[in-house]
Amino acid sequence: MIIRVVAVLYYSRLMKMENNELRIEFTKGIGVLVKQGYNTELVSRFAFEFYLNNKTSDKLLDEVVYDIMMMDAGPEFEYSENEIIDLLRDRLNVEII
């Protein structure tokens, strides 16, 4: 329950950010998950939570989040760790640090 409250507060703060800041925050979150040991289910779940909690007018960010979120639809939709890193860099112009 506490984790859920922290997540809600964290995402509420993100909703107020500019689009570029949202891109950076999304990438940081993915970066943390990648560094902990890449797991498509966790990355997809993070993207889903991000999607639910952030309303943005950034079409590219929306598309990338949706693509990553849909990895749980089946193995044919999964991205490898390197593909995720490339996707963020190429589509959003943001590097995983």
- In the chain, the percentage of residues whose pLDDT exceeds 90 is 65
Average pLDDT over residues 13-18: 57
| DSSP states along 31-82 | HHHHHTT--HHHHHHHHHHHHHH-----HHHHHHHHHHHGGGG-GGG---HH
Average pLDDT over residues 48-62: 91
Q: Are 30 and 46 in contact (CB under 8 A)?
A: yes
Q: Are 71 and 77 in contact (CB under 8 A)?
A: yes
pLDDT the model gives residue 87: 94
Q: What is the mean pLDDT of the chain?
A: 85
Q: Please tell me the pTM assigned to this model.
A: 0.77
b/e per residue 20-43 (b: at least 16 CB within 10 A): eebbbbbbebbbebbeeebebeeb
pLDDT the model gives residue 21: 86
Identify the sign of the CA torsion 4, 7, 8, 9. positive
Could you read off the pLDDT of 59-96 as tens digits, one per residue? Answer: 999 999 999 999 999 999 999 999 999 999 999 988 88
